[in-house]
Structure 1
Amino acid sequence: MPRLHVPEEVAAVLGCSAWWVKDRARRRLIPFTRVGRAYRFSDEHLAEIIRMHEERPAVKPQRLGVAAAPTRKPPARQRSEAAVPTVRLQARPPRRMAKSQYGTAA
């Protein structure tokens, strides 16, 4: 029979909070087993959770000995001052300052 882990144990392995584990299980974003009203996780569930959140490098690693040229950002476009109209903002008076039709302060 497989051993089932409680959310606190899974959180300790993943380095996150037990709340995160329970929340993800509640929203059915991670695999789990429900025993009564409690969330339980098998070793296979834990391995699948780790695989689900695994990030792979986006680019292939460079070969040793070949230096990569640094990437440069293109220069930012400068906005001309005449093209951007400026409008002065004015705050509205608070509602509590407005007079009510009944003459009360509220």
Structure 2
Amino acid sequence: MSKESGLPPSYSAAEVAISLGCSEWWVKEQVRRRRIPFLRSGGGYRFTSDHVREIFHILEERPSSANAIEGEVVPRRRTAAQPVGPVVSLRARRPRRARNAA
């Protein structure tokens, strides 16, 4: 686009993916799930520089102030949830054709 039009430049999903260091598919998936801002133009997705800044802000992770002061390391993965009730063993049924043949 020319600077004379007064319109902000727009970027494709591929260009945004390069700036984020991820795949184009990931960017489009986030758009489909409405997790990041975008423009729909002619059936495609376009992004303004404001959108890209907001995407960076959405994806940004900052340490909490307590952890930053104490120097603790926050685990990045979630721990597995502990089972609430008793564990139930499951048994497979006999296939229907085996029941009918017997």
| TM-score bucket of the superposed structures, by smaller chain | 0.5 to 0.7
Q: SS state of the match for residue 40, structure 2?
A: strand
Q: TM-score, normalised by structure 2?
A: 0.63
1:21 aligns with 2:22: no
With over 3 angstroms needed to count, the CA separation of the structure-2 counterparts of 1:91 and 1:42, relative to structure 1, is closer
In the other structure, the counterpart of 1:75 is none
Q: Deviations over 1:39-97 (max 9, x none)?
A: 0011110010010111110234237xxx88xxxxxxxxxxxxxxxxxx98754322221
With over 3 angstroms needed to count, the CA separation of the structure-2 counterparts of 1:89 and 1:12, relative to structure 1, is closer
Q: SS state of the match for residue 16, structure 1?
A: coil
Unaligned runs of 5+ in 2: 1-6, 73-87
Instruction: State the identity %.
Output: 47
RMSD: 2.9
Q: SS state of the match for residue 100, structure 2?
A: coil
Q: SS state of the match for residue 14, structure 2?
A: helix
User: Which protein is richer in helix relative to its size?
Assistant: 2
Q: 1:35 aligns with which of 41, 63, 67?
A: 41
Q: 1:56 aligns with which of 30, 45, 62?
A: 62
How many aligned positions are there? 80
Distance 2:67 2:46 in 1: 38
User: Which protein is richer in strand relative to its size?
Assistant: 2
Could you say which structure has the larger radius of gyration? 1
Distance 1:90 1:35 in 2: 53
In the other structure, the counterpart of 1:8 is 14
Deviating beyond 4 angstroms after TM superposition, the runs of 4 or more aligned structure 1 residues are 87-91
Distance 1:18 1:97 in 2: 49
